């Protein structure tokens, strides 16, 4: 009987060991399944996070692109308006001189003294020049100065009346002007040789 009990005990031990092995295998399978599920959930979370970040970047890009497009449209509109009204200040400063010129012409028609007409025209010219000089216009001094190809345009050369006048401007045919220190018209001059 002792052999039977020992055999039963051994069978029970084997059965317990088999069941323990089955339980261990089941636990291991469950752990593997849980780890795999956790990895899948983790990957899904990462994908969702990346998709959210991508959507945010797309939205930022679209807003930035729209802002830049609006900026381009606004600056183009401002530039067009500026070009249309660029000479407004100059025109407003010249209009009173134009009025004076019209009055001078009207009074010249009835004038008997030529000196009064000359004086009136000189006043109008000075008023016009003052209005333009306030906007940055300056004449280029030429007569008596050395010929400078950066400022002058030689129309012709004539024999110099004296040795000091060689390579100098003898006469100015058309006065040159600078606007805010930039040449806008060259002086047309006669140079001595």
> Domain range spanning residue 96?
87-135
Q: Do residue 95 and residue 162 come from a single domain? A: no
> How many domains is the chain built from?
3
Instruction: Say how far apart CA 133 and CA 87 lie, in whole Å.
Output: 15
Q: Do residue 30 and residue 96 come from a single domain? A: no
Give me the CATH number covering residue 179: 2.30.22.10
Q: Do residue 18 and residue 75 come from a single domain? A: yes
Q: Do residue 53 and residue 27 come from a single domain? A: yes
Is residue 134 within 8 Å of residue 160, measured between CB atoms? no
Beta partners for residue 168, in sequence order: 146
Q: Do residue 146 and residue 169 come from a single domain? A: yes
pLDDT in tens, 77-122: 999 888 877 778 888 888 888 888 888 888 888 878 888 888 888 9
For the whole prediction, is pTM greater than 0.85?
A: no
pLDDT in tens, 148-173: 999 999 999 999 888 888 889 999 99
């Amino acid at each position: 009987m002792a052999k039977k009990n020992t055999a039963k005990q051994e069978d029970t031990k084997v059965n317990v060991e088999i069941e323990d092995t089955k339980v261990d295998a089941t636990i291991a399978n469950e752990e593997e399944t849980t780890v795999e599920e956790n990895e899948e959930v983790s990957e899904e979370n990462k994908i969702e996070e990346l998709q959210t970040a991508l959507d945010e970047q797309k939205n930022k890009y679209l807003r930035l692109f729209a802002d830049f497009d609006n900026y381009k449209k606004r600056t183009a509109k401002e530039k067009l308006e500026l070009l249309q009204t660029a000479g407004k200040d100059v025109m407003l400063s010249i209009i009173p001189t134009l009025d004076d010129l019209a009055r001078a012409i009207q009074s010249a028609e009835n004038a008997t003294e030529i000196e009064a007409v000359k004086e009136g025209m000189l006043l109008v010219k000075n008023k016009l020049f003052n209005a333009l000089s306030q906007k940055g216009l300056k004449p280029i001094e030429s007569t008596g100065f050395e010929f400078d190809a950066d400022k002058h345009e030689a129309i012709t050369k004539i024999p110099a009346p004296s040795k000091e006048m060689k390579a100098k401007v003898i006469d100015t045919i058309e006065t040159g002007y600078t606007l805010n220190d930039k040449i806008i018209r060259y002086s047309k001059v006669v140079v001595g040789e």
